[in-house]
Structure 1
Amino acid sequence: MNRIILKAKAKVNLSLDVIGIREDGYHEMKMINHSIDLNDVLTFEACDEGIWLTSNEDAIPLDERNLVIKTARKLQSQFNVEQGVKIHLEKRIPAQAGLAGGSSDAAATLKALNTLWQLGLSQSELLAIGVTIGADVPYCLVGGTALVEGIGEKITPIKALQPMTVLVVKPDIDIATPRAFKKLDDSIIENHPDIAAIIELLEDDDYDGLKANLGNVFEAITFTDYPEIAAIKKEMLEQGALAAIMTGSGSTVVGYYRDEELAVRSWQQFRKKYPMCFLSKTEESEGENYVG
């Protein structure tokens, strides 16, 4: 196989809590993640030597600042691979949006090069490499609906979300994750989401209960600095979303709709103001990642 095309799906935090800071400086997390069908598309072609990256998006770095390049070089060095690869990244997931676009691209790179370079790495070996690249990479390798703990390396699949239409709105606000964590560390957060209770609600298909229990600790600090993000969440709920939540450290807000027509009407309203406004679906199937 000399050519592989892979989808890299966006990740959404259904709920997110930060438990504390470990001795090594990493934050201990507890999250419920799920995939949506908003995705980047990566094409990998074997070549004689070198690692080359191109993209449809001019603002995307094409050097080691991009996790795709970092991942490919790490594999090439660690396993003494002489063969090269040409990679094209069709970017669809907004950057600095809390949707783990870069991490999902890195996970796709691990999967593709494991096959293209015939490394024969198991899923557990890929996960071990992934956590050294980024905290969201292990989850992006697994996908689906899952409880994610530790620094992102502990992944427990849980009952999948029911099929719903998902509205994704990313305002023109870029929030650097390290800055968000620093502010969180310096703040006193009184309300933390009850992750165990949310898992029970999912198990019982109690979606009315979900609305009142979903939470993201970053909302407490981010809404103060950027009231526009809080206003987007409020408007989604007023327009009939079953639930709405900011994902990651922001700035993207995600709304869940049981009624697709209602979601479309809401999308039509939001897109008048926000160019980065997408309709998506809850997504569980990992088999669709391979395009060709």
Structure 2
Amino acid sequence: MQSFLAPAKINLSLRVLGKRTDGFHEIDTLMVRLPGLCDSLVFEESERFSFSCDDPSVPSDESNLVVKAVRAFESATGTTCKFHISLSKVIPHGAGLAGGSSDAATTLSALNELHGNPLDQAALSGIAASLGSDIPFFLGNGAARCTGRGEIITPVPSIPPIQLLLLKPTFAVSTPDAYGRWHDAKPLPGISHDPVTFPWGQMVNDLELPVFRKHRFLAEMKQWLLDRGLSALMSGSGSTIFAILDQADDAEKHIAAARDQLDPTLWSWTGATG
């Protein structure tokens, strides 16, 4: 039995450049891992493949990205997966943190390792890209600029650890719906979308406009963080809003205030990128 960790990510920036002929959107995004926020996958030898998850809201059939990763690995290598894979969920679903994509990438890497590394990095990346746009990012290490539909990965080694506060309401956001509303989205009055410049680039997310139009609470949560003097942004297509903290910030004080003033059921996490 072996365990593997699948980290979350945030988008420090996300530009949507236009719709492609294949139906996807051309993007330019800077993504970083959150090594302290991880799902866990346990691989236990078995006579045949099976999969389970401790979160009943996560499908455990062939539609799950972990199962799709297993089938893709079997097809690429001509092997049969003889493991029971159990997934323990920590990363929220529909949060813009790519938990499912990370689970799939970790599954591919783990199976490759457990079978003696029959696939090189290029082959693994090709399989990952066929399964989902965010998945190739998790096959590398550290921060990366992701272009194309997200599958073209350029490492960015110079970003130091960033201390973060993450807040998420109980509802999820549909990524296809967010992109589907992108073209015609307009800013909400009273909500700042001004990019903030850091040494690594501008902090901006083009999906905020369509998502905030449909889910105004997320706009209000971002503005609440901005009004507290923090730099804040939605990650991916939401529904997580993150804020950058400095050494003097008291994360727990912000969390307590957010639950008191915004929503007592908010999920929160604080930690550093890596």
8 Å contact 2:186–2:210 — kept in the other structure? no
Deviations 1:47-66 (A, max 9, x none): 222x2111221111101221
Answering whether residue 186 of structure 2 is matched by residue 221 of structure 1, we say no
Q: Indicate the residue corresponding to 2:257 in structure 1.
A: 269
Please give the alpha-carbon distance, in whole angstroms, between the structure 1 residues aligned to 2:227 and 2:145.
29
Q: Secondary structure at the match of 2:16?
A: strand
Deviations 1:47-93 (A, max 9, x none): 222x2111221111101221001101111133221341111111000
Q: Secondary structure at the match of 1:217?
A: coil
Change (3 A) 1:192 1:110: farther
Using the TM superposition, give the Cα deviation of residue 134 of structure 1 relative to its aligned residue in structure 2, in angstroms: 0.4
Q: When the two structures are superposed, what TM-score results if normalisation uses the length of structure 1?
A: 0.84
Deviations 1:114-143 (A, max 9, x none): 011224211221111100000000011114
Q: Which is worse superposed, 154-163 or 13-22?
A: 154-163
Answering whether residue 165 of structure 2 is matched by residue 167 of structure 1, we say yes
Q: Indicate the residue corresponding to 2:247 in structure 1.
A: 259
8 Å contact 2:142–2:157 — kept in the other structure? no
Q: Indicate the residue corresponding to 2:224 in structure 1.
A: 235
Using the TM superposition, give the Cα deviation of residue 274 of structure 1 relative to its aligned residue in structure 2, in angstroms: 3.1
Q: Indicate the residue corresponding to 2:46 in structure 1.
A: 47
8 Å contact 1:131–1:137 — kept in the other structure? yes
Q: Indicate the residue corresponding to 1:202 in structure 2.
A: 199
Q: Which is worse superposed, 82-91 or 180-189?
A: 180-189
Q: When the two structures are superposed, what TM-score results if normalisation uses the length of structure 2?
A: 0.89
Deviations 1:183-215 (A, max 9, x none): 1134478x9998xx96xx435xxxxxx6xx411
The answer for unaligned runs of 5 or more in structure 1 is 204-209, 284-292
Q: Which is worse superposed, 126-135 or 176-185?
A: 176-185
The answer for unaligned runs of 5 or more in structure 2 is none
Q: Indicate the residue corresponding to 2:17 in structure 1.
A: 19
Please give the alpha-carbon distance, in whole angstroms, between the structure 2 residues aligned to 1:114 and 1:106.
12
Q: Indicate the residue corresponding to 1:281 in structure 2.
A: 272
Please give the alpha-carbon distance, in whole angstroms, between the structure 1 residues aligned to 2:163 and 2:248.
6
Please give the alpha-carbon distance, in whole angstroms, between the structure 1 residues aligned to 2:126 and 2:64.
20
8 Å contact 1:4–1:116 — kept in the other structure? no
Q: Indicate the residue corresponding to 1:71 in structure 2.
A: 69
Name the aligned partner's letter for residue 100 of structure 1.
A
Using the TM superposition, give the Cα deviation of residue 165 of structure 1 relative to its aligned residue in structure 2, in angstroms: 2.4
Change (3 A) 1:40 1:155: same
Q: Secondary structure at the match of 1:132?
A: helix
8 Å contact 2:129–2:136 — kept in the other structure? yes
Q: Which is worse superposed, 128-137 or 15-24?
A: 15-24
Aligned-residue Cα RMSD (Å) equals 2.3
Answering whether residue 120 of structure 2 is matched by residue 122 of structure 1, we say yes
8 Å contact 2:54–2:87 — kept in the other structure? yes
Q: Which is worse superposed, 84-93 or 16-25?
A: 16-25
Q: Secondary structure at the match of 2:182?
A: helix
The structure in which a higher percent of residues are helix is 1
8 Å contact 1:17–1:193 — kept in the other structure? no
Higher RCO (C-alpha 8 Å, min separation 6): 1
What is the number of equivalent residue pairs in this alignment?
A: 266
